[in-house]
Amino acid sequence: MPAGNIRAVSIMHSGGIIVEMETEGLATWCRSPDGRTAFESHLGSPASLSNRTFPIVLQYLPTQTKIEQVGFLQLMEHENSLPENSLAAIRWIKPPLRRTSQQQKA
């Protein structure tokens, strides 16, 4: 386990808990399989960790981009030096069926 402490714990109205770690290394370790298991064992049986996701909007993505292709998210992570599994999902804001035939970017 890396060095560091828990900086803050916030209880949400929904009953969820947000834990802020002192260091990025400790937060990364807690998201790893070993860290997750160790952390959850201290929380008690009904508790489990879940990853936070954030919506990101990309403007002007070429419409010929094959976002549904297997491995696309992993390729984007690699090409942009992002951690593994940091991209959870991708979709077009405007469904392809609603595009005009001349539309080049979405």
- pLDDT tens, position by position, for the chain (106 residues)? 888 888 998 888 988 888 888 998 888 888 888 988 888 888 776 777 777 777 888 888 899 899 999 999 999 999 999 888 888 899 888 888 898 888 888 7
CA 105 to chain centre: 25
88/86 Cα distance (integer angstroms): 6
pLDDT computed for residue 50 by the predictor: 76
C-alpha–C-alpha distance, residues 86 and 68, integer Å: 17
